[in-house]
Structure 1
Amino acid sequence: MKLQVSLKNTFVETTSLLFVLLFTYAAITKLLDFENFQVQLGQSPLLSSYAIWISYMVIAIELLISLMLMIPKFRTAGLYASLSLMSMFSSYIFIMLHFSSFVPCSCGGILEKMSWNVHLIFNLFFVGLALASLLMLPSSKTTNGNQTNRKKRWFYISSNIIFSIIIVIVLFLSSEKIMHYKNPFIRRFPKHPIVQDTIIDLKYNSYYFAGSDREKIYLGNYSNPLHITAIGKKTKERESIKIIFDSKKILFSSVKIRIRDSSFYLMDGTVPAVFTGSKSDWKANRQLTGMPYFTLAEPINPTKIILRSSNGRNAEHSIGIFDETRSSKIKYNSRLLQKQIDGIFDTDGTLLFDEKANRTVYTYYYRNQYIVIDSNGNLEYSANTIDTTTKAKIKVAHLKNNTQRKLSAPALTVNAYTAVCENLLFVNSKVSGRFESDKLWEQSFIIDVYDLNTKSYLMSFSIYKIDNKKMSSFFVTSDYLYAIMGTNLGIYRLRDLLKNEINSVKSKEK
């Protein structure tokens, strides 16, 4: 009997020592690389919103439990605390593996060498050690003098485990809600949502994205407005296309080409003029009559254009719909763009139309906002990007008796280039978030992804610079992301993490 008690005591003491070594090692490792530890917590799909205070609390708890386990008087409480903490760690890994949209990098130290599945087994092993040690403890008296029987001990143990799991679940659910809808500007960088496919040398830096179809992506050329380069999505073969059009009678100065389904559009808002034709012969043989001046435009169909014009009060920006089939061809909606300072620079942004979703997205350059517009020019909703710049940080100078306006100081660009693919909005952000390194921003461009259907932030990823060149634009299809950097076209294949976000809408529609 005494031997049995002695073996139990030895097991409990050995387990306590193992926990002391584990927690002390883990705490010291985190302290030695504390900044990296906070970054890893910031990227966690479960703890992102609470990374700051949890980073301090976890280290403090691990050291406190180690101290409790070394003092016989507090060893029982220390074992219960160990069981609770290891149950939380195990629940955390289980949720990430089975319910999270992505799995972040592992912890530091030796544990970083483990895969998450091995790490889960490792944690469960220590859960088992804590559980066995608690059951081997000799019966002790409670404050009312009654013996704590085995049933009560099992109740305490099971309550401990259940309560620990509930805490982790609550943290996960609340953090997910904050990250998607009330983000404190912490980006999520899942592992490799895109992978570089190839790089094509375009020879010139005057290209822009004109559109795509099922087989090809089309590039326009600012220097040669009637020239289009088509690149096969799968073959990557290039084809040179010349638009047939007699432009001698029209004084074009800012021509842009857009490809929509089987049609193409030749547009210049300074004339103003919009010509259209079929991709079957590439002849610009029809002009939309009655077109007003515009600064941005996107074709909706062969007779309908959504455009931005400076026709508002004091030449402020306004978005409207031009419809050639109506008697009153242009209809502006002055409530779409919200003035903050001057109505011109503060409302400047990018205009995109997605033909599959049949809607337009306008993203402001200098504030954390985008708006979604239906095909009739009505506001569906407005939403925010994850940064905290709610008001445009610009200074406007009024020249020549208020007849001209210019930016008197460099403006803080929040959202630069954008792309839209069905339910997803891709934004090239210029503002660094929390837990992001300067090196990452020096070497790459950051793309934030939003779900237009749920009005929520999904994830972020980086596109590394090619030959250290600036990115002038990017374009996204259901399979690829294309980015123009200097004279290079970078082609990146979307991996399942991103493709599934696009395909999830298709599956719901079927």
Structure 2
Amino acid sequence: MILYTNAGFKKYAIDVICLLYILLFVYAAVSKLLDFENFQVQLGQSPTLSSYALWISYLVPLIELLIALFLIIPKLRNCGLYSALCLMTMFTTYIFIVLHYSSFVPCSCGGILEKMSWNVHLAFNLFFVVLAITALIWQSQQPNNNAWKKKPRTIILKISLSFILSVIAVTVLFLLSEEIMQYKNPFIRRFPQHPVMRDTVIDLKFNSYYFAGADQKRIYLGNYSNPLHVKVLNEKTKIIETTKITFAKKNIPFVSVRTVVRGSHFYLTDGSVPAIFKGRISDWKTTGEFKGLPYFTLAEPVDSTKVILRSSRGKNRSHELGIFDDGQIQKIRYNKTLLQVQKDGIFDTDGTLAYSEKLHQLVYTYYYRNEFIVVNSNAELSYIGNTIDTTTKAKIKVAYLKNGMERKFSAPPLTVNAKTAVCGNLLFVNSRVQGRFENEKLWKDAFIIDVYNLVKRTYIMSFAVYKIEEKKLFSFYVTDDYLYAIMENHLAVYKLRNNLKKEMKIVK
């Protein structure tokens, strides 16, 4: 029915549509330019455009102003309408991809449109796409043009091609951006909306606690100062009780005892003795020990007979990973190829051990480079992964003292991955390296956690854990429902939101 209205009404309607587009594009461009830094940050967090955020941030406001100018000039109006159709189709396609295919939904753009939900924004854009198509058809039917009567198929073809090519352009950008984000490492973090929310904060009174482990209902905290005392936190009620490990043996020269809870067992470990004692959490009594252990610097029990160790037994006392199996004749087997030496073999291969009970795999994350390795329960390499920063070589300087017998840092090292935790198929890394388009205040006020999918071998998202009274982050632990962070003498509990929890589904 619209196509058969009179020419005067159509001309008036075209003027109104062009005016609406002019107001929209001028307002949008000026809003972006007035808050340009924030606009760049928002593009940097985009799941579709993050890899191209720098040049798009300059290009989009310029194009919007240019289209507005075309729509003002009568001779360029037709070109302006086609350009408006293409740009608005691109915006619409972008929102559709964000809602249906991206790994998270970022914050909305600025100005009035920021108040809209993404679905309302999609409908708003579709409305303007329809307006542009209507204006182009009516423009071709004007008496001074009359292109519709001569070649209506040509007009439909031009409109269709403009629409289709715009959709294809944004889709290709999305696919290329995903490729770059996952494999070409431009170091742009993705911050979705609130994946964790603070639940409660508990005062532990002392700053000597660490995470020993968890089961389905409880979190266990060890204590460096009092190794035989374990605090047990009920995950649901947040009530803490204290239990004591019964340890009969005496006169053992312990230096640094660490408690590990794995399943129904607990383990007391000290690599300087070396010793690992074990027992059941049902009664907290040590009932056995691993015999014939080598000296070790890190240990992660796999089960009641196996433990993966890191020892300084390689060339020039460099670190090596191996597996100790108490049930085998040859109890210890080292895999010399797992840790790759870059400089000295000790500092450059230093890192954290974390074990996924669901995957039956261990993750070793280097402190000073953007790399982690995933190892199976037989200390065999599954694959080498990378964190999203660009520090491929450890930025450390090592001084050799006492004729090479002692090593120390001769300059402060660049710590890349400070703390780690594993929950199911996800690796959580507390990064110390700031990415592009990230706010300085955020880094001052919070600790940044990057999340990786160990099964899909991809980076997923990042989020901030805000500091408590400027306290340092000692360690953190993640369960299916909560993230726990020890900040000196405080235990902060954060509830995981659905946009993070849905990533915990293990894909075989």
State the match for 1:58 in structure 2: 60
Cα distance, 1:101 vs structure 2: 2.3
Query: Structure 1 residues 146, 272: closer, same or farther in 2, change over 3 A?
Result: closer
* Deviation (angstroms), 1:91: 1.4
Query: Partner of 2:327: helix, strand, or coil?
Result: coil
Percent identity, aligned pairs only, is 61
Q: Residues of 1 paired with 2:150 and 2:433: CA distance?
A: 58
How far 1:121 moved relative to its partner? Answer: 1.9
User: For 2:299 and 2:120, how far apart are their aligned partners in 1?
Assistant: 54
Runs of 4+ in structure 1 off by over 3 angstroms are 138-141, 145-148
Secondary structure of 2:6's counterpart equals: helix
SS in 2 for 1:339: coil
Q: Does 1:423 align with 2:425?
A: yes
Shift of 1:83: 0.8
* Maintained 8 Å contact 2:148/2:155: no
Does the Cα contact within 8 Å between 1:481 and 1:491 map onto a contact in 2? yes
Which of the residues 332, 335, 346 maps onto 1:333? 335
Q: Could you tell me which residue of structure 2 aligns to residue 207 of structure 1?
A: 209
Distance 2:289 2:7 in 1: 96
After TM superposition, give the deviation of residue 4 of structure 1 in Å.
2.5
User: Who is 2:264 aligned against?
Assistant: 262
Aligned equivalents of 1:399 and 1:257: distance in 2? 34
State the distance in 1 between where 2:403 and 2:185 align.
43
Question: Where in structure 2 are the equivalents of 1:342-421 lying within 5 Å?
Answer: 342-421=344-423
Equivalents in 1 of 2:141, 2:240: separation in Å?
80
Residue 181 of structure 1: which of 180, 183, 188 is its match? 183
Contact 1:140 1:147 in 2 (8 A): no
The answer on whether the counterparts of 1:181 and 1:457 sit within 8 Å (CA) in structure 2 is no
Separation in 1, partners of 2:379, 2:140: 75
Contact 1:139 1:149 in 2 (8 A): no
1:466 alignment partner, one of 465, 468, 472: 468
Which of 239, 242, 260 is the equivalent residue of 1:240? 242
1-side partners of 2:201 and 2:391: how far apart?
34
- 1:151-230 → structure 2 map (5 Å cutoff): 151-230=153-232
Listed one character per residue, the Cα deviations across residues 150-205 of structure 1 (whole Å, up to 9, x for unaligned) are: 22211111111111111111112221222233231000000111111111111100
Please report how far the alpha carbon of residue 239 of structure 1 lies from its aligned counterpart in structure 2 after TM superposition.
1.6
Q: Give unpaired runs (5+ residues) of structure 2.
A: none
Mapped contact 2:197–2:494 kept (Cα < 8 A): yes
Tell me the equivalent position of 1:253.
Answer: 255
One-letter code aligned to 1:50: Y
Residue 120 (structure 1) shift: 1.7
- Aligned residue identity for 2:322: G
Q: In 2 relative to 1, CA 10–270 (structure 1 residues): closer, same or farther, beyond 3 Å? A: same
Paired AA for residue 415 in structure 2? T
> Does the CA-based 8 Å contact 2:11-2:142 persist in structure 1?
no
| Offset of residue 264 of structure 1 | 0.7
> Structure 2 CA distance, aligned partners of 1:489 and 1:295?
26
1:68-217 → structure 2 map (5 Å cutoff) = 68-138=70-140, 148-217=150-219
User: Would the alpha carbon gap of residues 259 and 122 (structure 1) be closer, same or farther in structure 2, given more than 3 Å must change?
Assistant: same
Is this contact kept in 2: 1:479–1:494, CA < 8 A?
A: yes
Q: Secondary structure at the match of 1:301?
A: coil
SS in 1 for 2:379: coil
Change (3 A) 1:268 1:160: same
Distance 1:367 1:148, change over 3 A: farther
**Residues 194 and 463 of structure 2 are in contact (CA less than 8 Å); yes or no, is this contact kept in structure 1?**
yes
The letter of the residue matching 1:136 is: W
TM-score by length of structure 1 reads 0.96
Alignment CA distance shift 1:468-1:138 (3 Å) = same
Aligned partners of 1:139 and 1:148 also within 8 Å: no
- SS of 2:56's equivalent in the other structure is helix
Q: State the secondary structure of the residue aligned to 1:78.
A: helix
Contact 1:180 1:458 in 2 (8 A): no
Aligned with residue 67 of structure 1, among 66, 69, 77: 69
Number of the residue aligned with 2:484:
482
Distance in 1 between residues matched to 2:118 and 2:498, nearest whole Å: 20
Amino acid at match of 1:175: S
Q: Are the aligned partners of 1:68 and 1:78 in contact in 2 as well (CA < 8 Å)?
A: yes
Q: Is the 8 A contact 1:245 1:284 kept in 2?
A: yes
Deviations 1:108-165 (A, max 9, x none): 1222222222222221221121111111114599xxx997422221111111111111
Query: Separation in 2 of the partners of 1:181 and 1:230?
Result: 41
Instruction: For 1:474 and 1:138, locate their aligned partners in 2 and report how far apart those are by CA, in whole Å.
Output: 64
Query: Under a length normalisation based on structure 2, what TM-score does the superposition of the two structures give?
Result: 0.96
Amino acid across the alignment from 2:493: I
Counterpart AA for 2:298:
L
Aligned to 1:53, the other structure's residue is in SS state helix
Q: Secondary structure at the match of 1:252?
A: coil
Amino acid at match of 1:309: S
**Structure 2: distance between partners of 1:488 and 1:247:** 33
Cα distance in 1 for partners of 2:197, 2:466 equals 11
3-state SS in 1 of match to 2:261:
strand
- How far the C-alpha of 1:247 sits from its partner, in A, is 4.4
Could you tell me how far apart the structure 2 residues matched to 1:273 and 1:8 are?
88
In structure 1, give the amino acid aligned to 2:412.
Answer: P
Work out the CA distance in 2 between the residues paired with 1:106 and 1:317.
47
| Alignment check: 8 A CA contact 1:80 1:157 kept | yes
Partners of 1:88 and 1:411 in 2: CA distance: 45
Counterpart AA for 1:299? P
Q: In 1, distance between residues paired with 2:218 and 2:458?
A: 30
In structure 2, how many angstroms separate the alpha carbons of the residues matched to 1:140 and 1:235? 72
Listed one character per residue, the Cα deviations across residues 431-490 of structure 1 (whole Å, up to 9, x for unaligned) are 000010110000000000000011110000000011210110000111111000011101
Which residue of 2 is the match for residue 287 of structure 1? Answer: 289
Contact 1:424 1:452 survives alignment (8 Å): yes
CA deviation after TM superposition for structure 1 residue 283, in Å: 1.1
Alignment-mate amino acid for residue 410 of structure 1: P
Change (3 A) 1:58 1:327: same
1:48 has 2:61 as partner: no
Conserved in 2, the CA contact under 8 Å of 1:415 and 1:427? yes
Q: Deviations over 1:297-324 (max 9, x none)?
A: 0101111110000011111111110111
- Between 1:443-452 and 1:281-290, the stretch displaced more is 281-290
The structure-2 alpha-carbon separation of the partners of 1:146 and 1:484, relative to structure 1 and needing over 3 Å to count, comes to: closer
Instruction: Give distance in 1, aligned partners of 2:391 and 2:192.
Output: 24
Which residue is equivalent to 2:302?
300
Query: Distance in 2 between the 1:354 and 1:107 partners?
Result: 38
- How many residues are treated as equivalent by the alignment? 505
Does the aligned pair in 1 maintain the 2:140–2:148 contact within 8 Å?
Answer: no
